[in-house]
Amino acid sequence: MTQTRTTPAPTTPVFCTIVPPHILGRLAESDDPAWHEPARRTLEHDALHRTRRTGLAAQARAPQEARAAADKPNRTVYDAGHQQNLPGTKVHSESDGPSKDASVNRAHAGLGATFELYLKVYGRKSIDGAGLPLDATVHYGEKYDNAFWDGQRMVFGDGDGRLFKDFTIPVDVIGHELTHGVTQYTANLDYQAQSGALNESISDVFGSLIKQYALNQTADQADWLIGADLLAPGVHGQALRSMKAPGTAYDDPQLGKDPQPATMAGYVQTTDDNGGVHLNSGIPNHAFYIVASALGGKAWERAGQIWYDVLTGGHLAKNAQFADFANLTVQAAQTRYGASGAEHEAVVKAWSQVGVVGK
């Protein structure tokens, strides 16, 4: 049993990106400068930021900041002007009308879609649960092939145009990154090995649910892809990851073949990417997909509720392993829906199917 714990606010938010290092690393090895230059710049940038330790995002806010309207989003969008200075120039506030810049409008809408799911479905007021204002910066860097959460804000690159399009396009990418903020304020999972893969998977789960909620899709209508519409025309692939079928999202001469495992039989032992956090996240991703598909209907209602209960319940240790998380989802399903319910059965079967056996 995972030890019961409180979840104090973290002191070192994790720098989390949507495009994993193994994709960028392959591109960086290309002989063609058109492929390798953007990838190398992106990798160098991301490596620098991963070694940086930032203060708690909440501490960056003035304590007296008004949050009376915590049931409404407070969004601000900045423009980096293709530089790497954050936050950039303020270009859009909550009360402003639509911008002439499509990236600004998409960022504003994606922040709102994320806020709406967490508030209306789970009663959570912004990512910290207390109405934290949501900031985003667009047009970051020169042909920057990534988007990230740095503990304080969402940051979007424009992509290189050959492999990746503007990172504000997929709403699930925005939801994914902001969910790293939710994890930061709740379970604060260590960003390494299995706990890091759970951190990534939780972001994929809720990123997908945010997209499904915005589109009012049922589980069988959803594509279960992370980053669909992000890959440029001509790339052989659908998205960055597939929760329905990990390992099938892309197979491209430049990107390579999607290496995500769907079960523990394919678990990747590596020292790269903090112990393969973007690879092995495919296993809990697939477990969630199986649960949601078995239950049917709208995935955020029952499957998502179980995962949310575990994330915010105070029992998930920072260094939790897959089996710890599996056990807690089984318990959460039983607590909320009963031991004889379809929810409990679906969760037990899903973790067994992906090869994760509880303690």
pLDDT at 1: 37
Catalytic residue list contains 200: no
Element holding 77 (H helix, E strand): strand 75-79
| Main-chain dihedrals φ then ψ at residue 338, nearest 5 degrees | 95, 150
Catalytic residue list contains 278: yes
pLDDT at 94: 97
DSSP type of residue 9: P
pLDDT at 49: 67
pLDDT at 70: 76
Pairing of strands 134-138, 75-79: parallel
Tens-place pLDDT, residues 306-348: 999 999 999 999 999 999 999 999 999 999 999 999 999 999 9
16-185 is a CATH 1.10.287.130 domain = no
Domain boundaries, the chain: 16-185, 193-353
Q: How far is CA 122 from the centre of its chain?
A: 17
Tens-place pLDDT, residues 262-318: 999 999 999 999 999 999 999 999 999 999 999 999 999 999 999 999 999 999 999
Q: 256 by DSSP, 3-state: which? A: strand
- Rounded Cα distance between 292 and 300, Å, is 8
Q: For the domain made up of 193-353, give the CATH fold.
A: Neutral Protease; domain 2 (1.10.390)
| Tokens (6 digits) for 241 | 């990851």
- CA-wise closest residue to 44 among 7, 84, 72, 90: 84
Burial 2-24 (b: 16+ CB within 10 A, else e): beeeebeebeebbbbbbbbbbbb
Burial 42-52 (b: 16+ CB within 10 A, else e): bbebbeebbee
DSSP type of residue 313: S
pLDDT at 11: 40
Q: Which residues are within 8 A (CB) of 339 and not within 5 positions of it... i.e. 6 or more apart?
A: none
Question: Which parts of the chain sit beneath pLDDT 70?
Answer: 1-14, 49-69, 358-359
Q: Which residue has the tokens 């004889």?
A: 340
Considering the entire predicted model, what is its pTM?
0.90
Instruction: Name the active-site residue from 108, 177, 286, 315.
Output: 177
Q: Which residues are within 8 A (CB) of 144 and not within 5 positions of it... i.e. 6 or more apart?
A: 38, 41, 42, 45, 157, 158, 159
pLDDT at 140: 96
Instruction: Name the active-site residue from 278, 286, 315, 344.
Output: 278
End-to-end CA distance of the chain: 7
pLDDT at 88: 97
